[in-house]
Amino acid sequence: MSSKSSSKAAVALLVLGVAASALSIFQWSQLLTLRAGGSTVCGVSDTVNCETVWNSPFATRLHELFGIPVAGLGLVWGLTVVALSAVFLARERSGKSVAPASQGLKLTALAGVVSVFVFAFASYQTGVVCPTCLGTYALVALIAGVAFKGLPSVAGEWGPALGWTVGATVLVFVAVALPGRSLSTPAPKAGALLPPAPTEATASATTGAASANSSPASLEAYLKGLPLDQQQFISNALAMYRRDTPKPAAAPARRLYGPATAPVKIVEWTDSKCPHCKSLVEELAVLKKRVPEGKLSLEARQFPLDGACNPAMQRRGPDAPTVRCVAAKAQICLEGASDFWELREKLFAAQAVLDTERVMEIASSGSMSRSQLESCLASADTAAKLQEDSSYALRYHFTGTPLVVVNGRQAMPSAPFLYALVMAEGNPSAPAFDVLPPPRAMPMDDHAGHNH
């Protein structure tokens, strides 16, 4: 093989490596957009959707293992091709042996081909097509073809080539992983760890016994499909839940989602400015759509972290913002409104910019007028209901919000855990939980909530 043709192959590999790296960077940026709550360019439909693949248990486990997402691993591979191609060209120009770089590129290409088969199989299991993944597969195939057809082969050089390849990969991984970890790719958006919502098509495909609201999979299958850290988390949370002693309701529900006879009754206390409460509200909004009808009831109560209206909290002074109190009372006032749940979710969605005026705007944007809202906020009845919520919450030993109680027991404010309890119909000893790993001790703060 001529030196000129080898040079052309190395240049082609350099260009293709840059293209593969650019595509990986694009995928990573789209993942960041997705996890921040935005939409991606390849979320086309239920069957053509990169988002499902990126949030799959397989992709999540790789992210946990390496500290960077699959797109980051693709970037490491692409930059390794670029690095070895550059080394090949530099050594060729200086008259040195190109054998280690040549064989190293072939090893890297081979690793890419093997990875493609693994990732393609994992994508196939999700049942969707990932367009950007297909682009990566095509680039890997081109790089492998050029490496094995266009580069010279030198017998007996595989040992040094392996050292070069491993060394280059480690250096590139460190270079990518350090800033990659600092990006701290956000957790999946609300509902990402819950099964998809059942559809009419799913129901009609069954024997006819299931309704359109039936679960898409068994509880055991759901638990097995979760990332390992989530399986451990649910196991820990379940052990704590089992140890708690059920307490009877301290007051009748004022506003309830779902039937009062539901086997799983959730009561949750939140504060309007608590970030973890916002996450919980978002997760519960999805959870309500993902569980079988009639299996869950949800009761929302208030625990504002402001001593101006909550005697359980220390006063912050006369000049402290009262948005927490106003938001809590506004939600109490809306309990009789038909759009209560919708307006409540809007309040938490606006948390970053929430002040007293914004609370009033959102709360009066539906079925309740501003004048009605203002009158209700000032009423003694609303203050009494807020006092009732606070006293009710203090029956449980917690240090902050959110507080979640399921069937009288304090529970972790985790959507996967709550979903599992619902699918077990509230039975913490259901046989399906046997697939979980043994529980480990959890810090008390994880159970108690977050005092923001």
- pLDDT score for 206: 41
Residues 271 and 138 in one domain: no
- pLDDT score for 40: 73
What ranges in 127-189 are assigned the alpha helix state H?
131-150, 158-183
- pLDDT score for 385: 97
Query: What tokens appear for 148 in the block?
Result: 């094995």
Residues 151 and 245 in one domain: no
First-residue to last-residue Cα distance in the chain: 68
- pLDDT score for 317: 55
User: What does each of the 452 residues of the chain score in pLDDT, given as a tens digit?
Assistant: 556 788 899 899 999 999 999 999 999 888 877 665 456 787 666 577 787 787 677 887 788 788 888 999 999 999 999 999 999 899 889 988 888 888 888 999 999 999 999 998 888 877 778 888 999 999 999 999 999 999 887 666 677 778 878 888 899 888 888 776 555 555 556 777 888 765 533 443 443 433 333 444 699 999 999 989 899 999 999 999 999 999 999 999 999 999 999 999 999 999 998 888 999 999 999 999 999 999 999 999 999 988 889 988 877 555 455 899 999 999 999 999 999 999 999 999 988 778 899 999 999 999 999 999 999 999 999 999 999 999 999 999 887 789 999 999 999 999 999 999 999 999 999 999 999 999 987 654 444 444 44
Does residue 201 belong to any structural domain of this protein?
Answer: no
Does residue 210 belong to any structural domain of this protein?
Answer: no
Does residue 74 belong to any structural domain of this protein?
Answer: yes
Does residue 213 belong to any structural domain of this protein?
Answer: no
Residues 363 and 280 in one domain: yes
Does residue 283 belong to any structural domain of this protein?
Answer: yes
Residues 304 and 414 in one domain: yes
Return the axis-axis angle of helices 415-423 and 275-290, rounded to nearest 10°. Answer: 30
* Distances, alpha carbon 423 to alpha carbons 64, 195, 281, 358, 378, in Å: 27, 12, 20, 38, 42
Range of the domain at 294: 218-448
Does residue 429 belong to any structural domain of this protein?
Answer: yes
Residues 169 and 254 in one domain: no
- pLDDT score for 435: 96
- pLDDT score for 38: 54
Residues 8 and 127 in one domain: yes
3 state SS for 351-395: HHHCCHHHHHHHHCCCCCCHHHHHHHHCCHHHHHHHHHHHHHHCC
What three-state secondary structure class fits 403?
strand
- Tell me, what amino acid is at 274? C
Cα-Cα-Cα-Cα dihedral sign, residues 164, 169, 174, 179 = positive
- pLDDT score for 108: 92
Does residue 209 belong to any structural domain of this protein?
Answer: no
Cβ(424)–Cβ(434) below 8 Å: no
C-alpha 136, offset from chain centre: 24
- pLDDT score for 43: 66
Residues 294 and 424 in one domain: yes
Spatial CB neighbours of 201, under 8 Å, sequence gap ≥ 6: none
| Pairwise CA distance, residues 261 & 296, whole Å | 9
Does residue 117 belong to any structural domain of this protein?
Answer: yes
Cβ(325)–Cβ(304) below 8 Å: yes
| Pairwise CA distance, residues 262 & 281, whole Å | 20
Q: What's the CATH code of the domain at 412?
A: 3.40.30.10
Q: What's the CATH code of the domain at 70?
A: 1.20.1440.130
- pLDDT score for 398: 82
| Pairwise CA distance, residues 135 & 74, whole Å | 12
Residues 269 and 123 in one domain: no
403-406 and 296-302 strand pairing: unpaired
Give the Cα-Cα-Cα angle 344, 345, 351 (nearest 5 degrees): 95
| Pairwise CA distance, residues 389 & 393, whole Å | 6
Residues 239 and 376 in one domain: yes
- Using CB atoms within 10 Å of the CB of residue 260, give its burial: 0 to 12 exposed, 13 to 18 middle, 19+ buried: exposed
- pLDDT score for 36: 55
Residues 35 and 169 in one domain: yes
Query: What tokens appear for 409 in the block?
Result: 């027991």
- Least Cα distance to 197 among 224, 210, 222, 215 occurs for 215
- pLDDT score for 50: 81
Residues 127 and 252 in one domain: no
Give the domain-ending residue among 163, 183, 203.
183
Dihedral through CA 245, CA 251, CA 257, CA 258, nearest 10? Answer: 60
Count how many domains the chain has: 2
Residues 40 and 109 in one domain: yes
